[in-house]
Amino acid sequence: MSALLVPSSSSPVPRARNRDVALGTITPKTYRAFLASPEGRALGAGFLQCPSWAGVKEGWGSQLIGWGPDPEAGELTGVALVLLRQFPGTHKYFAYLPEGPVADWSDPDVDDWLDPLLGHLRRAGAFAVRIGPSPAYRCWDAARLKALTGPGRRLGDVLASEVDPLGSAVADRLRVRGWRRCGGDGTGQGGDAQPRHVFRVPLAGRTTDDVWAGLNQEWRRNVRRARKEGVEVVVGSAADLPEFCRLLAVTERRDGFRLGRSLAYYERQYAALNAEEPGRMKLYLARHRGEILAAHTLITVGRRAWYQTGASADHRREVRPSNALQWRMLLDAHALGADVYDMRGVASTLDPEEHGYGLLRWKLGTGGQVVETLGEWERPLGGSANLVLHRAFQAYLNRR
């Protein structure tokens, strides 16, 4: 079922004000200028909070919101891309801020900007909102996890290498304000739309020799094998997306998962992200004897880079095309000045017999860290009617 029309960022919505914080809708130009400013770059926005992402999400409306001393003049301290999904048969909307808002979560006076944001969404007709705060909760170094795998073992069973006090503080602040963590506080992804556990390779302050030394012996051997076998890695174009999607279907059948993404989806994504900034999304191809054996996508925003999706053929896997791709992408992310190379989601299992462990094991070989994010948080926006509508909407999404 397609979504109905929703308020756009150009719709007249009353500005909210709390103390010295003004909040209102802003233009894409103003939004992008903030993300590119020193203040915005310090907040580390992900690609899901770029204005271009609204053009990727078919069936959702959107608003670009900013707050600060004077949003209309570009004086901002935070921004948010809000996706809006209309509940069928009503004039009410579910508001979703994927991995957002882009805000200073260390601010102890979080109500100064969070309350105006919620008030704005309520006036726009939202009956509930879901957010994805940016602070991490805890992380585990690859070496620690590789040594502690075993039957039935999960990430939560292993003492974390580091616990972020800011993440714990933000979680407490949200709970006391009536927010609920999607899927609960367990170690699984639960009800999150975005992965709760991600794998990140730190690049800041490291040379390429350091990154190479961080790879485990198997990874270094596989990269060398690909080079010896003549695997060629190149950056493709939109014309190569059909081949990428063909390989992705092969990968889904082999590995037993389903992304549910079509060629049209990746064409929209490629066009929208690169229209916003040329080279923001790249498609890397690994060729061997003239045939494309693997294809991976890379997205960069500011000083962060993400390996988003990977696909590979069933045959000639012994020439290690995926290892060759990842090493090239790591080198390119480093050359672009990225502080972090994010390999996105991993399962929480440390049991070698469980589905999902294989991908985790492969990523552990890069020597990075598993990071547990704060996950996603939801709350209805006032009134028993909105609470009922929120529950009905969750059931509707589950049926879809």
Q: What type of residue is 265?
A: Y
**Separation CA 189–CA 138 (nearest Å):** 15
Residues 336 and 285: their CA atoms lie apart, in Å, by: 19
Range in 113-117, 325-329, 363-367, 391-395 with the lowest mean pLDDT: 391-395
User: Is residue 10 pLDDT above 70, yes or no?
Assistant: no
| pLDDT(255) > 90 | no
CB neighbours of residue 246 within 10 Å = 15
pTM: 0.90
Can you tell me the distance from the alpha carbon of 293 to that of 8, in angstroms, rounded to the nearest whole number? 42
Is pLDDT at 19 greater than 60 in this prediction? no
Query: Which residue type occupies 71?
Result: P
Q: 3 falls in which pLDDT band (50, 70, 90)? A: very low
What's the pLDDT band for 185 if we cut at 50, 70, 90? Answer: low
User: How many whole angstroms separate alpha carbon 192 and alpha carbon 10?
Assistant: 29
Residue ranges per structural domain of the chain = 16-132+376-399, 136-164+188-373
For residue 107, give the nearest of 136, 78, 80 by alpha carbon: 78
At the topology level of CATH, where does 136-164+188-373 sit?
Answer: Aminopeptidase (3.40.630)
Query: For residues 327 and 308, what is the distance between their CA atoms, to the nearest angstrom?
Result: 15
Per-residue pLDDT tens digits for 101-132: 999 999 988 999 999 999 999 999 999 999 99
Burial class (CB in 10 A: 0-12, 13-18, 19+), 14: exposed
Q: In which region does residue 375 sit, left (phi positive, over 0), alpha (psi from -120 to 50) or beta (all else)?
A: left
CA atoms of 357 and 364, how far apart (whole Å):
10
45, 48, 188, 271, 307 from 303: Cα distances, Å: 9, 15, 28, 21, 14
Q: Give the least confident one: 76-85, 207-216, 379-388.
A: 379-388
* Stated length of the chain: 400
Q: Which fold has domain 16-132+376-399?
A: Aminopeptidase (3.40.630)
- State the Rg of the chain over Cα: 21
pLDDT at 5: 36
CA distances from 247 to 50, 253, 311, 312, 330 (A): 28, 10, 5, 5, 22
3-state secondary structure at position 241: helix
The answer to whether domain 16-132+376-399 and domain 136-164+188-373 are alike in fold is: yes
Question: Residue 390 — pLDDT band, cuts 50, 70, 90?
Answer: confident
80 vs 2: which has the higher pLDDT? 80
What is the pLDDT of the chain when averaged over all its residues?
A: 90
